[in-house]
Copies of this chain bind each other. A is one copy, B any other.
Amino acid sequence: MSLFSAASYASPHEGYFLKASFYSSGSRTASGEHFNQHGFTAASRTLPFGTRLCVTNPATGRSVVVRINDRGPFVRGRDLDLARGAAVALGMIERGTATLKIVRLSRSASISL
């Protein structure tokens, strides 16, 4: 599997790369949870709510763990929308979008960093 194939969820525990943006507005997420723009959460069109991803910004070397609690982004060519707090921590606010390395985490999942 190419590590650069966007939006490939075939091998959940390997690292792959996704195009991500961030958002800070809204009051309610698609999961029903209150939206906290400072939280480490994210929106995905396909991943189940509650999925945890270890997300790395190669440009800054920073990694955070985000939890999927919303649906989106509804913009072509973007696969993940991070709550602003996670984007701040990853150092991607100025550029607005970033190509991030993603590792899907689960109980006792195998992880390579």
Binding site for B on A (CB under 8 A): 39-40, 52, 54, 56, 61-65, 85, 88-89, 105-113
Not counting A63-B65, A88-B89, A89-B89, a sample of 7 additional A-B residue pairs whose C-beta atoms are within 8 angstroms of each other reads A40-B61, A40-B62, A54-B65, A56-B65, A62-B64, A62-B65, A110-B110
Which residue of B is nearest A39, CB measured? B61
With known contacts A61-B40, A63-B65, A64-B64, A108–B105 Cβ distance under 8 A: no
* CB atoms of A64 and B63 under 8 A apart: yes
A106 to B54 Cα, complex, angstroms: 14
| C-alpha gap A59/B31 in the complex (Å) | 22
Q: Give chain B residues whose Cβ lies under 8 Å from the Cβ of A52.
A: 113
